[in-house]
Every structure is written in structure tokens, then in C-alpha cells.
Amino acid sequence: MRHYVGLVHKNGDSDFGVSFPDFPGVVTAGATLDEVRELAEQALAFHVEGLIDDGDAVPEPASCQQAIADKDHRELTAIMVPLRIR
């Protein structure tokens, strides 16, 4: 099973957000860390299923080290999100 890096961010009173360096523009948010992890898994699967349906290539997962090498990502918390598609 593939796992992709999700970057968790939170500003002040906002919900927790997750973005994916391998999939720019794919984001989700949740009120708790548990909720955002679950929603991140769903958002990732939904996006990848769309890529497959459209005949587009699915990128290989970047390593955690690659994801946090970007100076804009260093202050974020990285989580590994499993890709579970039908």
C-alpha cells in the first residue's frame, strides 16, 4: 500500500488543515487531529481515483524527507496518509 505525505497546519482558532506536496491543491480540514487524518485519507483517495478515471498518471510518493526539504514546509507536521482506493 502506498502512503503519501500530508502536511498538517493550524493557525490560531482555525481547524487543522492537511495538504499534500505530491498533489498541489488537494486539501482538507477537520476540527480534531483524528478527524483531519480521516478526512485526509478520504480526500487523497477521491483525488487519486479521479486521476485514474481520467487516465492521468499517479505520482510515486515523495519521501517525508523530500516533503520537508522545502523551507516552507519545515514548520509543519508531516503525517503519512495511506492510499486506500477501490
How would DSSP label each residue in the chain? --EEEEEEE--TTSPEEEE-TTSTT-EEEESSHHHHHHHHHHHHHHHHHHHHHTTPPPPPPPPHHHHHHSTTTTTSEEEEEE----
Torsion angle of C-alpha atoms 3, 50, 19, 6, degrees rounded to 10: -10
**What's the pLDDT at 9?**
92
**What's the pLDDT at 70?**
80
Could you read off the pLDDT tens digit of each residue along the chain, which spans 86 residues? Answer: 899 999 999 988 899 999 999 999 999 999 999 999 999 999 999 999 999 999 999 999 999 888 888 887 778 899 999 999 87
**What's the pLDDT at 17?**
96
**What's the pLDDT at 71?**
80
Q: Does the predicted model carry a pTM greater than 0.85?
A: yes
**What's the pLDDT at 41?**
97
Domain ranges across the chain: 1-6+35-86
